[in-house]
Amino acid sequence: MVDNSKRATFGGKLSAVLVSAGGAVGLGNIWRFPYVAGENGGGAFLVLYIVCAILIGLPIMLGEFSIGRQTKSNPVGAFRSLNKSWRYFGYNCIVTSFLILGFYSVVSGWTIEYTVHSVTGEITRHASAGEHAAFFSSFIENPWKPVVYTSIAMLLTHTVIALGVRKGIERCSKILMPVLLLMLAVLAVRSLTMPGGAEGVKFFLMPDFSKVTARTLLDAMGQAFFSLSIGLGTMVTYASYFNEKTNLRTTAVNVTVIDTLVAVLAGLVIFPAVFSAGIEPSAGSSLVFITLPGIFASMPLGMVWSSLFFLLLTVAALTSVISLHEVVTVYIAEEWHMSRKAATRLATLSVIAVGSLASLSLGVMKHWTIFGKTIFDALDYVTANIMLPLGGLMTAIFVGVVIDRRVLHDQLTNFGKLQCHQERTVRFLLRYVCPIMLALIFIDNLGLLKWI
């Protein structure tokens, strides 16, 4: 057994919320959400997204929080101590977090590189959309630069993780989260006042349900899952550091609200600017890296806005990288009986190795493919489409059906000290609604629901 009595805990109430929100808010909110919403018709997607966040995201986050604080352990230890044969799903958490880091660290590297190029004026020097697209592809294909930036992203993360739970992760999230919200708000005001920006707001906030299909719903569910960081033990790990007074219900609600707020603010930054420039909102994953720089270039003080935006993206990305890294690190430290320092070093070096391969697979190693996909795309596809919904499905069944009912009860009520009227609803959602919805996403991602 692992001795957990010396485990770190976060400070006050606010820390639990800000640290978990830091892990949840990331590229998923600022880069992925706007382009998926743009592809799915805007407003109606936002409504579906919010419904999914409440019906699936919240209960699973509460489930993860409960097993994390109950066991005070890494995900493998947590699953194992509540039911021995379920420990394999703990391994799914660790392996998937590691694999996500493999490509997430690369994109985080790009955000740092784009920040640097914004400050030097490189980004806003290009005028046409074609030039921006060419700049982006030549830059991700470069044989060494992205590798260097991936390593920089990981070394920054390493420093925070090595400082420890309290001095590193907690302090960093407490500073970075408010900075992020402030920067987003400034950018949203700027974007909203651009000529023609109101059209973008209309597209984003006025739901047009005639555009909704089953696919929109599946996309909204997948996005809610990725954005809230659930299914892979991130929240199990963070909750293992919560103190006994933390109210899990209000923490989960606050994290969900902050995460959604950031996604909405990101939409309010991006859509007015996109409409003002007359660009199609369904431009896809290049929206942030190709479309936006084009818009910044045409704005007065473009260099300032572009630097601010990419700095913001870097901050959001890094707090998520930190959360994924912590999952891997604490697993290595506790299960392989290593010091935190050695575990951090091992995790960082391994991620840099996989990240470098992923980065090179977009350029010089393009021809090395796995099932027809580059290493980068394969990592993204397998984790987001298969391992993540599988992890979520298992977490919902584990908490809702497998383990003793008392665990959820004790954790939601802080061992009877608080009242929780929603316990039955949460259990119902975990037992029935989440498994059905998640099974659908999973089957769909395997390509079996193509006809929808």
Residues that bind ligand TRP (CB under 6 A): 23-24, 26-29, 226-227, 229, 231-232, 234, 320, 323-324, 388
Name the residue nearer to ligand TRP (CB basis): 27 or 52.
Answer: 27
Beta strand pairing call for 369-370 and 373-374: antiparallel
Name the residue nearer to ligand TRP (CB basis): 61 or 201.
Answer: 61
- Smallest separation, CB 234 to ligand TRP (Å): 4
Name the residue nearer to ligand TRP (CB basis): 69 or 132.
Answer: 69
**How many CA within 13 A on the CB side of residue 280?**
8
* Residue in this structure with the two tokens 């997607």, named with its chain if needed: 45
C-alpha to C-alpha distance for 22 and 178, rounded to whole angstroms: 10
Residue 215: name the closest of 32, 380, 39 by CA. Answer: 39
- Smallest separation, CB 388 to ligand TRP (Å): 6
C-alpha to C-alpha distance for 57 and 217, rounded to whole angstroms: 14
In angstroms, the Cα distances linking 219 to 38, 264, 316 are 12, 16, 22
Residue 240: name the closest of 64, 394, 94, 401 by CA. Answer: 64
In angstroms, the Cα distances linking 283 to 67, 141, 278, 313, 319 are 40, 21, 12, 19, 27
Q: What is the three-class DSSP state of 126?
A: coil
Cβ pair 331, 346 in contact under 8 A: no
- Smallest separation, CB 207 to ligand TRP (Å): 23
Name the residue nearer to ligand TRP (CB basis): 28 or 38.
Answer: 28
- Smallest separation, CB 21 to ligand TRP (Å): 10
- Smallest separation, CB 230 to ligand TRP (Å): 6
Name the residue nearer to ligand TRP (CB basis): 53 or 140.
Answer: 53
Name the residue nearer to ligand TRP (CB basis): 24 or 153.
Answer: 24
- Smallest separation, CB 317 to ligand TRP (Å): 7
290 phi/psi in degrees, rounded to 5: -115, -50
- Smallest separation, CB 26 to ligand TRP (Å): 2
Name the residue nearer to ligand TRP (CB basis): 235 or 357.
Answer: 235
- Smallest separation, CB 28 to ligand TRP (Å): 2
Q: What is the three-class DSSP state of 4?
A: coil
C-alpha to C-alpha distance for 25 and 429, rounded to whole angstroms: 24
Name the residue nearer to ligand TRP (CB basis): 231 or 267.
Answer: 231
Residue 374 host element (H or E):
strand 373-374
